[in-house]
Amino acid sequence: MKELRVTPIKNGTVIDHITPGFALKVLRVLKLPEATSSVVSVAMNVKSRFGKKDIVKIENRELDKREVNKISLIAPKATINIIRDYEVVEKHKVRLPDEIIGIVKCSNPTCISNSREPVESRFILVSKDPPHIKCYYCERETEDIAERII
Ligand SMILES: [Zn+2]
């Protein structure tokens, strides 16, 4: 049985090994499918050697570092495959940064990062899987990270 059931793409990105059930959250933080006119395919609960996983394929688009960091907060086991002319030219695991800057909004309304002259939000990684993060300024831990990604 082939591991990847969906058809190969010519150019673009395959996000593999997404935590099962989290593909739609990955799409949402990448603002897909609205942010592209290319084909986006989603496979959920795909069987793999290590249990189930979700897969997202985005044609004609490569992700920047900020987008990859967002994915790492939602699916810390994900791998990013860059495809050019049907070949995987780059493959790497997402890596949670020790500090998450400007990506997540603090849930504390009185936090300095939410003030009228806001400083950029800054979070410290508390644990990796599942990801837990704590605000650098007010020390509040953020639940529902996916809902708070900017
Ligand atoms: Zn805060």
Tell me: the pLDDT tens digits for 104-140?
999 999 999 999 877 899 999 999 888 899 999 999 9
Q: Are 54 and 20 in contact (CB under 8 A)?
A: yes
Residue 136 to residue 113: CA distance in whole angstroms: 10
Q: Is residue 106 part of a domain?
A: yes
One-letter amino acid of 46: V
Tell me the CA–centroid distance for residue 24 and ligand 1, in Å: 27
Tell me the CA–centroid distance for residue 140 and ligand 1, in Å: 6
Q: Is residue 5 part of a domain?
A: no
Q: Each residue of 57-68: pLDDT tens digit?
A: 999 999 999 999
Tell me the CA–centroid distance for residue 121 and ligand 1, in Å: 7
Q: Could you tell me if 28 and 43 lie in one domain?
A: yes
Q: Could you tell me if 112 and 79 lie in one domain?
A: no
Q: Could you tell me if 63 and 117 lie in one domain?
A: no
Predicted pLDDT of residue 36: 86
Domain membership of residue 24 as a residue range: 12-93
SS3 149: strand
Residue 127 to residue 36: CA distance in whole angstroms: 33
Residue 14 to residue 16: CA distance in whole angstroms: 6
CATH of the domain at 126: 2.30.30.20
Tell me the CA–centroid distance for residue 119 and ligand 1, in Å: 10
Tell me the CA–centroid distance for residue 104 and ligand 1, in Å: 10
Average pLDDT, integer, range 96-105? 93
Query: What pTM did the predictor assign?
Result: 0.87
Residue 30 to residue 93: CA distance in whole angstroms: 17
Q: Could you tell me if 46 and 66 lie in one domain?
A: yes
Q: Are 74 and 22 in contact (CB under 8 A)?
A: yes
Q: Could you tell me if 22 and 66 lie in one domain?
A: yes
Q: Could you tell me if 105 and 88 lie in one domain?
A: no
Judge whether residue 3 has pLDDT over 60.
no
Domain boundary residue, one of 73, 93, 113: 93
Model confidence at 6, pLDDT cuts 50, 70, 90, reads low
Q: What is the DSSP track for 12-59? A: EEEEEEEPTT-HHHHHHHTTTTTT-SS-EEEEEEEEETTEEEEEEEEE
Query: What is the bridge-based pairing of β-strands 12-18 and 51-59?
Result: antiparallel
Judge whether residue 7 has pLDDT over 80.
no
Tell me the CA–centroid distance for residue 69 and ligand 1, in Å: 19
Q: Could you tell me if 40 and 60 lie in one domain?
A: yes
Domain count along the chain: 2
Tell me the CA–centroid distance for residue 36 and ligand 1, in Å: 32
Tell me the CA–centroid distance for residue 103 and ligand 1, in Å: 13
Average pLDDT, integer, range 61-85? 94
